[in-house]
A and B are shown apart, each in its own frame.
Chain A
Amino acid sequence: GDSVTQMEGPVTLSEEAFLTINCTYTATGYPSLFWYVQYPGEGLQLLLKATKADDKGSNKGFEATYRKETTSFHLEKGSVQVSDSAVYFCALSSGGYQKVTFGTGTKLQVIP
């Protein structure tokens, strides 16, 4: 079945540091890939998405590129802020199905 593996957290960074959160996936066919973010006490919000190979999703300074050859969708940001502190979930949806498969989440803490 489909699965998503993302790096264990928590990740602690200083403000303005570079962020990478690794995500790899296993899926049949050609999945759509997502990053969702969950701030404390809230539901999940879509951060960015990519629907086909080599697509780059971007939003709020975050980027991720759909790499079919390495089955990866790593999240990056050049300069993190304290307000980016949250839990980040990598997810996939494989075609025609209503199930979205989530990774285990990576908690990011950014310190001033």
Chain B
Amino acid sequence: DTEVTQTPKHLVMGMTNKKSLKCEQHMGHRAMYWYKQKAKKPPELMFVYSYEKLSINESVPSRFSPECPNSSLLNLHLHALQPEDSALYLCASSLTGTGANVLTFGAGSRLTVL
């Protein structure tokens, strides 16, 4: 299995909703990432988990809350989002998060905040 699977593919939510994005990989990778990508822009790093511990938080607003229940799963909990948070949210994983650090990306969850 060489894939990163993200669900849902599309999500529409209001500003008062609570929702979650899910990411799963079974490649034995020990580093997992959340990126945010706006249209025609490169991915922007949000969070990194290394060996199930949060190692990088790129000053992301607290309305985004990551969780790594185990080495295969990564969640992003969403609450009280703003319309400007609408974007493609990409999950990625890598073997260890060091060295050449090749990222394997999922297809993304496209989020629309109304």
Contacts and interface: CB of A to CB of B under 8 A. Distances in A.
Contacts of B98: 95-98
B41 A46 contact: no
Contacts of A81: none
A46 B56 contact: no
Contacts of A41: 107
A105 B40 CA distance: 8
Interface in A45-97: 45-46, 49, 51, 89, 93, 95-97
A43 interface: yes
A107 B70 CA distance: 37
B55 interface: yes
The range of chain A's interface size is: 20 to 34
Interface string A20-40: 000000000000101010000
B43 A102 contact: yes
Contacts of B60: none
Given A43-B90, A105-B41, A100 B101 contact: yes
B43 A98 contact: no
Contact of B102 (A34, A102, A107): A34
Interface in B36-81: 40-43, 45, 48, 50, 55-56
B7 interface: no
B103 A100 contact: yes
Interface centre among A36, A44, A45, A89, by most B CB within 10 Å?
A: A44
A11 B76 CA distance: 35
Interface of B: 4, 6, 31, 33, 40-43, 45, 48, 50, 55-56, 90, 92, 94, 97-108
